């Protein structure tokens, strides 16, 4: 074959290959968000809270004697069995401080993993959001659960609203006192109120971590449990009750310090390709 013809054919082949785009890798959020039910296998939390998945998740019933799952259209009322057991138990505690029970927000997806919208975490079936709104009814219809809103317990970012109550303190204290709980994320104003009001054992306060965006709900995170060797716990919270740290958050809202450098390597978990997930998670979804 003449050299010129051979070169021309090679060039044509290269052009043809570039003309057909390579098939894009699926995003993990789209794959995991497509499942409507759990795999039903043994319970396993796999990977980390913000890069992982969950086998054997079970569904928190939509309604119970002391709870209702909210925003049912999201199909996020799934979690590891110990999370469901924890939430049912905490909802019973709520009845002891004057509430009818609890409104439960997002937990996890049937197989965990990144979500199409919202959270960076909630991926391994060990996280749950609990509304700050005391239930007015535990007979809400699915439509009502889509339209009702929770309530903020913070005013202006620096003080409690009139909706913060001793009952909130007691419920969050009960949650943090459970040995299965690793952390509770809540607005720093709520934590400061708890720090000021606590007159007994303050050890549980260490688990309560200040964070923005948690004035309408508090976020409970359980530790990795026995039977999940692939689960990755966070490092323990810093020593001490953390009350001064929460107070500093509020001072920083009033007088913001200079912005620090952003992490150039940070990516939201919604951007992860499926191949970036733990191998056990890829196997779980059959990819």
| C-alpha angle 250-251-255 in degrees, rounded to nearest 5 | 120
* 211 Cβ neighbours under 8 A, 6+ residues apart: 185, 186, 187, 188, 219
Mean pLDDT of 102-111: 98
Domain assignment present for 6: no
Identify the CA nearest to 171 among candidates 202, 131, 209: 131
- State the pLDDT at residue 15: 43
pLDDT per residue as tens digits for the range 154-191: 999 999 999 999 999 999 999 999 999 999 999 999 99
Helix (H, G, I), strand (E, B) or coil at 52: strand
Number of domains present in the structure of the chain: 1
Domain assignment present for 17: no
Q: Are strands 67-69 and 102-104 parallel, antiparallel or unpaired?
A: parallel
Domain assignment present for 74: yes
The neighbour count for residue 88, using CB atoms within 10 Å, is 18
Domain assignment present for 273: no
The neighbour count for residue 13, using CB atoms within 10 Å, is 9
pLDDT per residue as tens digits for the range 230-254: 999 999 999 999 999 999 999 999 9
- State the pLDDT at residue 28: 98
**First-residue to last-residue Cα distance in the chain:** 44
Q: Which domain holds residue 33?
A: 24-255
Domain assignment present for 146: yes
- State the pLDDT at residue 130: 98
pLDDT per residue as tens digits for the range 187-231: 999 999 999 999 999 999 999 999 999 999 999 999 999 999 999
DSSP state of 231: B
Mean pLDDT of 42-48: 97
Q: Residue 9: pLDDT above 70?
A: no
Domain assignment present for 287: no
Q: In this structure, are residues 129 and 217 in contact, taking their beta carbons and an 8 Å threshold? A: yes
Domain assignment present for 101: yes
Task: Using the Cα atoms of residue 177, residue 181, residue 187 and residue 188 in order, give the sign of their dihedral.
Answer: positive
- CATH of residue 44: 3.30.1380.10
Query: Residue 24: which pLDDT band, with cuts at 50, 70 and 90?
Result: confident
Identify the CA nearest to 32 among candidates 287, 230, 224, 228: 287
Q: Residue 11: pLDDT above 90?
A: no
* 230 Cβ neighbours under 8 A, 6+ residues apart: 44, 45, 46, 47, 278, 280
Mean pLDDT of 96-108: 98
- State the pLDDT at residue 151: 96
pTM: 0.90
């Amino acid at each position: 074959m003449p050299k010129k013809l051979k070169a021309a054919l090679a060039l044509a082949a290269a052009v043809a290959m570039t003309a057909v785009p390579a098939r894009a890798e699926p995003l993990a959020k789209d794959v995991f968000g497509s499942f409507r039910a759990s795999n039903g296998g043994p319970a396993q939390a796999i990977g980390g809270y913000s890069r992982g998945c969950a086998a054997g998740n079970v569904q928190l019933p939509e309604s119970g004697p002391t709870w209702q799952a909210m925003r049912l259209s999201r199909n996020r009322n799934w979690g590891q069995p110990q999370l469901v057991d924890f939430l049912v138990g905490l909802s019973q505690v709520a009845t002891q401080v004057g509430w009818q029970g609890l409104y439960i927000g997002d937990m996890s997806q049937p197989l965990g993993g990144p979500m199409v919208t919202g959270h960076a975490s909630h991926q391994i079936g060990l996280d749950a959001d609990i509304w700050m709104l005391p239930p007015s009814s535990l007979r809400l219809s699915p439509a009502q659960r889509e339209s009702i809103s929770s309530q903020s317990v913070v005013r202006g970012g620096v003080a409690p609203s009139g909706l913060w109550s001793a009952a909130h303190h007691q419920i969050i204290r009960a949650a943090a006192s459970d040995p299965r709980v690793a952390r509770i994320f809540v607005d720093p104003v709520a934590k400061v109120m708890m720090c000021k009001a606590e007159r007994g054992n303050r050890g549980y306060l260490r688990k309560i971590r200040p964070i923005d965006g948690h004035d309408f709900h508090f976020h409970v995170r359980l530790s990795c449990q026995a039977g999940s060797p692939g689960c990755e716990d966070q490092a323990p919270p810093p020593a001490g009750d953390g009350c001064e740290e929460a107070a500093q958050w509020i001072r920083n809202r009033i007088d913001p310090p200079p912005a620090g450098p952003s992490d150039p390597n940070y990516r939201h978990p919604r951007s992860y390709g499926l191949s970036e997930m733990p191998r056990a998670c890829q196997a779980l979804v059959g990819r």
